[in-house]
Amino acid sequence: MGASITFNVDKLIRKLDIIQKSHLPKASEQALKSLGFDLREVL
């Protein structure tokens, strides 16, 4: 079984305003894509 990272973002999300909340899904998608490309080079 591989290692995993968990992070509870509930407290963080409560502090965000409406504009920031609207950008969160796109930002997380881009971060995961970037991570995937970086991991592909490492593995």
How does pLDDT run across 1-43, given as a tens digit for each residue?
578 888 888 888 788 888 888 888 899 999 999 999 999 998 7
Distance CA 27, CA 42 (A): 23
Q: Which residues contact 36 (CB under 8 A, 6 or more apart)?
A: none
**What global pTM score does this model have?**
0.55
Q: Which residue is associated with the tokens 């920031």?
A: 20
